[in-house]
Chains A and B, each alone.
Chain A
Amino acid sequence: MSFAWKAAGMNYLQYSSIAARALRRVAKTELQAEIAKREGVAVKYAKWDSGKAGVSALVPNVETRPKAEN
């Protein structure tokens, strides 16, 4: 199966968080206060080699709205 987001160099974590964020934006305003509490989730990863953690890096979020709106 081929995915456009994969071809664009994205991984599934990025794809699913873009979709989740897009869906959160369109929930009714009375739910937005609750939603704001679970915004701003980030994933960090590090490659472990012979029992040692490598440099940890952030899976970057792809921003599609100016910061203030997110």
Chain B
Amino acid sequence: MSFVARAFKPATALARLTRQSARFYASETAAASTPAAGRLVVNFALPHAVVLKGTEVNQVDLSAVSGDLGILADHVPTIEQLKPGVIDIISDAGSAKYFVSGGFAIMNPNSVLNINAVEAFKLEDIDPQAVAANLAESQRLASSAKDEATKEAAAIEIELYESIQTALSAKSK
């Protein structure tokens, strides 16, 4: 009997070891931030502020350089460069629209979406009159600027302001 017990000891120790390591890997993949099935977790950060941290949402719409994306849970992992445009965060509470100046969106394999932007404002925090005035000023600069860099900078601004105007007019409809 004692012989049998002794013979089994190493086997049980080994079994326990494999079980523990199996549990370790399971807990690694099931990190605390991983959302429930069908849910998407969003982290949205700016250099000076954290907009969203670990927020569970249903969908995020964003405009990337490669095209407009609607991201749901279990989206294929990807890294997208953001265009100046709207990020629409759709949760059970409704939709929250931010206008970002540019940045990156990183979709992780575990339904966690990280968005980094340089500057972002809620659409309602943008002054439409200031947009119109600055668009006119940038257009004037684009046609009058002598050096290439200023011209290109003005073109970047025009693209951004036109994108804001599109977003604001879509919102008022």
Tell me the B121-153 residues at the A interface (CB within 8 Å).
Answer: 121, 125-127, 130-131, 134, 137-138, 141, 148-153
Shortest Cβ gap from A48 to chain B (Å): 24
**B57 an interface residue at 8 Å Cβ cutoff?**
no
Name 27 A/B residue pairs within 8 A (Cβ), A-sorted.
Answer: A1-B66, A4-B152, A4-B155, A5-B152, A8-B148, A8-B149, A10-B152, A18-B157, A19-B84, A19-B118, A20-B102, A22-B138, A23-B99, A24-B119, A26-B130, A26-B164, A27-B126, A27-B127, A28-B126, A31-B121, A31-B125, A38-B48, A63-B153, A64-B138, A64-B141, A64-B150, A64-B153
- What is the size category of the interface that chain B forms with chain A? 35 or more
Main secondary structure of the interface of B (DSSP, over half): helix
Shortest Cβ gap from A1 to chain B (Å): 6
**B30 an interface residue at 8 Å Cβ cutoff?**
no
Given A19-B118, A28-B127, A64-B138: 12 more A-B contacts, CB < 8 Å: A8-B152, A16-B102, A16-B118, A20-B119, A22-B101, A23-B119, A26-B130, A27-B121, A27-B125, A27-B127, A38-B47, A65-B137
Shortest Cβ gap from B17 to chain A (Å): 45
Contacts of B103 in A (CB 8 A): 16
Asked if A26 and B126 sit within 8 Å, CB to CB, the answer is yes
Contacts of A1 in B (CB 8 A): 65-66
Asked if B125 and A28 sit within 8 Å, CB to CB, the answer is yes
CA distance A18 to B153 in the complex (A): 7
CA distance A10 to B164 in the complex (A): 23
CA distance A16 to B153 in the complex (A): 10
**A33 an interface residue at 8 Å Cβ cutoff?**
no
**A29 an interface residue at 8 Å Cβ cutoff?**
yes
Asked if B118 and A17 sit within 8 Å, CB to CB, the answer is yes
CA distance A5 to B102 in the complex (A): 14
Contacts of B149 in A (CB 8 A): 8-10, 62
